[in-house]
């Protein structure tokens, strides 16, 4: 029996259809080992940056079953994804299998870029050893990211606020967003006027022309408007230029994410999850790549599709060069595996993304579109009643029309909304139908969208295609950035974290450093650099910088406050800080200064009590803490150092909590009574995963029972039921 191990159950199911009964196909469900959470145990820095891996939590059963199957196998084939991450998963599997010490057991690696019968059969004919260079490159990235994240985050906890974090790639991405945000803050709008005229030809065809000058003052705008309204119009010139529009290259990971964002409204994470499903089902090639090339067999398929659907005369073979100097391990571009299937997918997302990939791949092998771009320039002769000395700038109209569709027949969504202009010639008379004058203001620079940030990261060489989606997702989840429509807007927290890093670790979050580090990781993958020297060269000066900053770095302020906002006690200027509720003003000059104010200068008042607890006669407050809103009984003072507190349910608006509800929340945890066999107390409470009861560390979730009303008798019934042990995420293919 041959044991074939892949990452996912879905992939195992697809590949299981293509291999014979000699193969047992199973899934590792991703990585089986990882670094422990504690950095002290994770990496032996002095020993040469040696990582100490542990079986990932929840993967013990998966590893145990793979070991059992390995004992029965004559040969083991590791068929994980064809990239560094896949190579690392294969190596971890091989390391665990080696522990069995089975004599003469062959453990080999097979790789493929599409899950089709032909590709799988071909891959099985050519097993190879694990590529240690690729594996070491992945390990170097994992160790490097852990070291940077752990040390930088630790410093931020001390100097800014507990619970914040930093990362080798996420921090430069956040810095790019903050640079744009500062441009927007510094932007000063300027007023200008747009004057447009609706004109009519002798053949009663109408079009709109716009003044080529945008006057800055109302006086200038009024002068142009008055002369243009009363003047005589004619065509000064018509400029026509025939141009070509060439098709775009097939998708790479980053261009797929960008196009799916702009055309389909997909986030990068949604795009990659959908593409993963299409790949595992055998519909597209591997979706993590920065190569724009396609295999000869694919080009032949496209030629047949174009000839049949659009005509042989529209086919044109094209070879696109890969922009990246270290393209992802000789992958192909993202393309369909079978081009005769134009529409495919199990969900609406899959169907829409597949169609996008199909159109981009097919259109890339078609002839150029021909476009006629037209510019009509008009002239206004002032009315004699206004004086011949009056001058009016030219008005012009731009448009275009498609002469030959070419590849746009396939990718029709790439067509722009063309402005169709009438056919005119020089000195043709025009009739003014209407003229408008609009006052406008210059707009600040646009914030980055997810697609725009990916494009910028790629341009600057920060990160790699496979990391873009997770990088953006991380800074959103950590609330450093929020989505404002389609754009990414840094939050106050993101502002203070980025400012702190820019002030104290400018080199390590710079474009140059981050891009050069990526190149060094690529060199490890290519066998041009060694693992340990690369990490040591980075870590020694980095650690020194961290230790130096521990002594000197201070809490980053968000900027100077308005000089008019003074501390009410010492009258010193106040600084802007970041707190749990957002930005606030504070005076730190003297200990006795209370000095905390809202940004508008108003006093930050103490919370007002909802009412009084009838039993304790203490006031009841709604408070806001690091983990969300909560109820507090009494105030914190010398007599009441630890006031009783209880969380407010997530689905409840804190501003709508009544005194009755607050007292109900404070009733938790409830002591229901003793368990008969042990005499130990049974308690009911609400935790991170919802309501539960507990007895001697035996926790049971409450699915149907109300945590506030459950009785002792009902709790005993639940505790006597057998405890269910779930088995998640593990399936195997049996033949």
Q: Which of 23, 112, 225, 286 is catalytic?
A: 286
CA 55 – CA 178 distance, rounded (Å): 39
CA 298 – CA 589 distance, rounded (Å): 71
CA 496 – CA 512 distance, rounded (Å): 23
Tokens 């140059």 -> residue: 512
Exposure class string for 315-344: b at 16+ Cβ within 10 A, else e: bbebebebebeebbbebbbbbbbebeeeeb
Residues 287 and 81 sit within 8 Å (Cβ to Cβ): no
CA 322 – CA 255 distance, rounded (Å): 12
Crossing angle of helices 170-186 and 450-460, in 10° steps, is 110
Please confirm whether the linkage preceding 628 is cis (ω < 30° from 0): no
Please state whether 628 falls in left (phi above 0), alpha (psi between -120 and 50) or beta: left
Q: Which among 55, 54, 36, 46 has a CA at the least distance from the CA of 146?
A: 36
Beta strand 75-78 with 2-6 is parallel
> CA quadruple 370, 212, 388, 202: dihedral positive or negative?
positive
- Token pair of 585 as six digits: 């003003």
Q: Which among 329, 322, 284, 280 has a CA at the least distance from the CA of 128?
A: 329
Residues 74 and 1 sit within 8 Å (Cβ to Cβ): yes
Please provide the DSSP assignment of 616-642 as one string: T--EEEEEEETTEEEEEES--SSS-SS
CA 678 – CA 200 distance, rounded (Å): 95
Q: Which among 40, 152, 50, 33 has a CA at the least distance from the CA of 535?
A: 50
Please provide the DSSP assignment of 163-225 as one string: T----TTHHHHHHHHHHHHHHHHH----EEEEEEEEEE-TTS-EEEEEESS--SSHHHHHHHH
CA 284 – CA 275 distance, rounded (Å): 8
**Known catalytic membership, residue 286:** yes
At residue 119's C-alpha, the angle toward residues 116 and 121, to 5°, is: 105
Q: Which among 54, 79, 76 has a CA at the least distance from the CA of 67?
A: 76
CA 536 – CA 46 distance, rounded (Å): 10
Taking CA atoms, 469 is separated from 48, 280, 476, 610, in Å, by: 31, 19, 11, 44
CA 426 – CA 376 distance, rounded (Å): 9
CA 29 – CA 56 distance, rounded (Å): 11
CA 468 – CA 474 distance, rounded (Å): 10
**Catalytic residue IDs:** 286
């Amino acid at each position: 029996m041959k044991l074939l191990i892949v990452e996912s159950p879905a992939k195992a199911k697809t590949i299981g259809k293509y291999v014979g009964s000699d193969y047992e196909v199973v899934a590792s469900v991703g990585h089986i080992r990882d670094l422990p959470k504690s950095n002290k145990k994770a990496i032996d820095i002095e020993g040469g940056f040696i990582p100490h891996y542990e079986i990932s939590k929840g993967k013990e059963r998966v590893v145990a079953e793979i070991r059992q199957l390995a004992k029965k196998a004559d040969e083991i084939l590791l068929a994980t994804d064809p990239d560094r991450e896949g190579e690392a998963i294969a190596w971890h599997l091989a390391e665990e299998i080696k522990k069995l010490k089975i004599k003469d057991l062959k453990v080999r690696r097979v790789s493929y870029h599409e899950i089709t019968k032909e590709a799988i059969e071909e891959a099985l004919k050519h097993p190879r050893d694990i590529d240690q260079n690729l594996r070491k490159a992945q390990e170097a990235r994992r160790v490097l990211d852990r070291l940077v994240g752990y040390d930088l985050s630790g410093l931020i906890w001390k100097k800014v606020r507990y619970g914040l974090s930093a990362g080798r790639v996420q921090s430069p991405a956040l810095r790019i967003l903050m640079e744009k945000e500062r441009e927007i803050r510094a932007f000063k709008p300027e007023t200008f006027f747009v004057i447009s005229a609706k004109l009519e030809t002798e053949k009663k065809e109408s079009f709109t022309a716009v003044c080529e000058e945008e006057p800055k003052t109302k006086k200038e705008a009024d002068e142009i408007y008055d002369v243009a309204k009363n003047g005589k119009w004619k065509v000064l010139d018509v400029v026509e230029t025939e141009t070509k529009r060439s098709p775009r290259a097939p998708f790479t990971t980053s261009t797929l994410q960008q196009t799916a964002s702009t055309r389909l409204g997909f986030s990068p994470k949604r795009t990659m999850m959908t593409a993963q499903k299409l790949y595992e089902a055998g519909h597209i090639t591997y979706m993590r790549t920065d190569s724009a090339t396609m295999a000869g067999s694919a080009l032949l398929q496209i030629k047949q599709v174009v000839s049949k659907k659009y005509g042989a005369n529209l086919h044109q073979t094209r070879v696109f060069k890969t922009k990246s100097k270290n393209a992802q391990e000789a992958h192909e571009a993202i393309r369909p595996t079978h081009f005769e299937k134009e529409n495919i997918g199990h969900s609406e997302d899959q169907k829409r993304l597949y169609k996008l990939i199909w159109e981009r791949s097919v259109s890339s092998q078609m002839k150029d579109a021909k476009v006629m771009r037209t510019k009509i320039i008009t002239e206004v002769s002032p009315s004699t009643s206004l004086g011949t000395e009056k001058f009016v700038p030219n008005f012009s109209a731009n448009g275009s029309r498609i002469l030959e569709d070419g590849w746009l027949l396939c990718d029709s969504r790439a067509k722009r909304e063309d402005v169709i202009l009438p056919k005119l010639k020089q000195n043709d008379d025009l009739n003014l139908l209407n003229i408008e004058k609009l006052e406008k203001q210059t707009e600040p620079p646009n914030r980055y969208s997810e697609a725009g940030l990916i494009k910028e990261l790629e341009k600057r060489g920060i990160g790699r295609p496979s990391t873009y989606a997770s990088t953006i997702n991380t800074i959103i989840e950590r609330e450093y950035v929020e989505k404002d429509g389609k754009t990414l807007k840094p939050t106050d927290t993101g502002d203070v974290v980025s400012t702190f890093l820019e002030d104290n670790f400018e080199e390590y979050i710079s474009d140059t450093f981050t891009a050069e580090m990526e190149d060094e990781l690529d060199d490890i993958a290519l066998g041009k650099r060694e693992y340990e020297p690369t990490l040591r060269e980075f870590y020694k000066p980095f650690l020194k910088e961290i230790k130096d900053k521990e002594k000197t770095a201070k809490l980053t302020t968000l900027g100077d406050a308005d000089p008019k906002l003074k501390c009410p006690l010492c009258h010193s200027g106040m600084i802007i800080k970041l707190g749990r509720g957002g930005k606030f003003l504070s005076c730190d000059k003297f200990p006795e200064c209370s000095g905390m104010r809202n940004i508008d200068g108003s006093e930050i008042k103490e919370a007002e009590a909802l009412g009084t607890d009838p039993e304790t006669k203490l006031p009841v407050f709604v408070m806001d803490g690091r983990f969300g809103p909560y109820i507090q009984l009494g105030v914190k003072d010398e007599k009441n150092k630890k006031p009783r507190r209880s969380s407010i349910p997530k689905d409840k608006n804190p501003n709508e909590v009544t005194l009755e509800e607050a007292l109900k929340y404070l009733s938790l945890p409830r002591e229901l009574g003793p368990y008969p066999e042990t005499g130990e107390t049974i308690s009911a409470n609400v935790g991170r995963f919802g309501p539960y009861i507990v007895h001697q560390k035996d926790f049971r979730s409450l699915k149907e029972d109300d945590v506030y009303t459950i009785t002792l008798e009902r709790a005993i019934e639940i505790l006597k039921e057998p405890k269910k042990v779930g088995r998640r995420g593990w399936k195997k293919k049996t033949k």
